[in-house]
Homo-oligomer: A and B are copies of this chain.
Amino acid sequence: MPTLTTFRAVPSFAVGYVRDLRVRWALEEAGEPYDVRLIGFEEKESPAYRHEQPFAQVPVLQDGDMTLFETGAILLHLGERFPVLLPRDPDGRAQVTMWAFAALNSVEPYIANLANLVVFSMEQPWAAAQRPVLEEIALKRLGQVDDWLAGRDYLAGDFSAADILMTTVVRLLDGMGYVERFARLTAWRDRCTARPAYRKALAAQVAQYAPETEAA
């Protein structure tokens, strides 16, 4: 059974948004049970953990004799085991791989810059000048994904690992009203987040932190 490593506790704003959600969701889609290993926030900097995760982040997935980091790589690895995440034909595999990298390199950096500004830095003196700059490129990227979704239910054929990654990227803007400017993107996101596997994964992450949040 795979073992997912994540943080024992996180700040309340992060509950539901910790990146282990991507792996939980993928494992739920695959119907694969998993164990959870919890580490303290300070433990991420330990030499033992940095050997597993050089960037002191979560999640890590141990699967058989492999220890994996980077959610993109973890999902492609799970895709080798479970076709629901990654189709078997070469063209389908390539499409999912392209959209996995697109989510994490062509979209997430711009979405994260905007989300971080809105969530953490609006009190800063430079926030007012930065916001339109970051909005412009983030909205451009959202619009490009929205364009791509014309006539498509999912990013790359059937539902795949690419949809898991891109959904969690788009969710970084939850509650900010940006995504909802794009009808196809919103419908696609809602289609993805309506999946039972997503619901189970999110509930598992929230339940993980509920006791800690109450105790904090």
Contacts and interface: CB of A to CB of B under 8 A. Distances in A.
Interface residues of A, number: 40
Chain A contact residues: helix, strand, loop or mixed: helix
Contacts of A129: 124-126
A101 interface: yes
How many chain copies?
2
Given A94-B73, A147-B54, A104 B102 contact: no
Contacts of A105: 70, 72, 104-105, 108
A112 to B, nearest CB: 7
Nearest to A108: B105
A66 interface: yes
B66 A144 contact: no
A204 interface: no
A123 to B, nearest CB: 12
A129 B94 CA distance: 42
Interface in A126-148: 126, 129-130, 141, 144-145, 147-148
**Best-surrounded residue of A54, A90, A91, A124 (most CB of chain B within 10 A):** A54
A68 interface: yes
A98 interface: yes
A160 interface: no
A50 B90 CA distance: 22
A16 B5 CA distance: 40
A180 to B, nearest CB: 21
A70 B98 contact: yes
A71 B101 CA distance: 8
Interface in A57-99: 57, 65-66, 68-73, 76-77, 90-91, 94, 97-98
A101 B98 contact: no
A57 B106 contact: yes
Contacts of A109: 108-109, 112-113
9 contacts: A50-B147, A54-B148, A70-B105, A73-B101, A76-B97, A101-B104, A108-B109, A109-B112, A125-B126
